[in-house]
Amino acid sequence: MVPEHFHKWIHIFGKKQSERMPTRKLWDHVIETKERFALRKGKMYPLLREKREEVYEFINEELRKGYIRLSKLPQIAPVFFVGNKNSKKHMV
C-alpha cells in the first residue's frame, strides 16, 4: 500500500512512535495573556456518568502521552466526542 521508495521511513509511522511528542526546545514558549484579559464564565453542560468517565480517561491518556499539559488558566470549554469510521472517538 505504501510506495516502495517510502519504506525507509515506515517505522516512523507506527502506533508507538505516534504516541510521543518532540522534545522541548529553547524556543518553546508560554502564551501570556494581556493584563486587560477578562475570564469569561463558560456554560457547563452536564454529562452522563459514562461520558464524564470517557472525558477523564481521554484527558489522562493525553496527559500520559505528553500531548497536553495541565493549564494554569481557570478557563473552561465544553467537550464532546465524535465517532470515526473505525468506531473510535475523538474529543472535540
Tell me how far apart the alpha carbons of residues 18 and 87 are, in angstroms, rounded to a whole number.
19
pLDDT at position 3 is 87
Please tell me the total number of residues recorded for the chain in this structure. Answer: 92
Domain extents in the chain: 38-92
The pLDDT value recorded for residue 60 is 92
pLDDT of residue 8 exceeding 80, the answer is: yes
Q: Which amino acid is at 14?
A: G
The answer to whether residues 42 and 74 touch, using CB atoms and an 8 Å cutoff, is: no
The position carrying cell 456518568 is: 49
From start to end of 1-92, where are the E strands?
Answer: 81-83, 89-91
- By the 8 A CB rule, do 43 and 78 touch? yes
Q: What is the pLDDT of residues 19-75, one digit of tens each?
A: 777 777 887 777 777 888 887 777 777 888 988 888 889 889 888 888 888 877 777
Checking DSSP bridges between strand 81-83 and strand 89-91, what pairing results, if any?
Answer: antiparallel
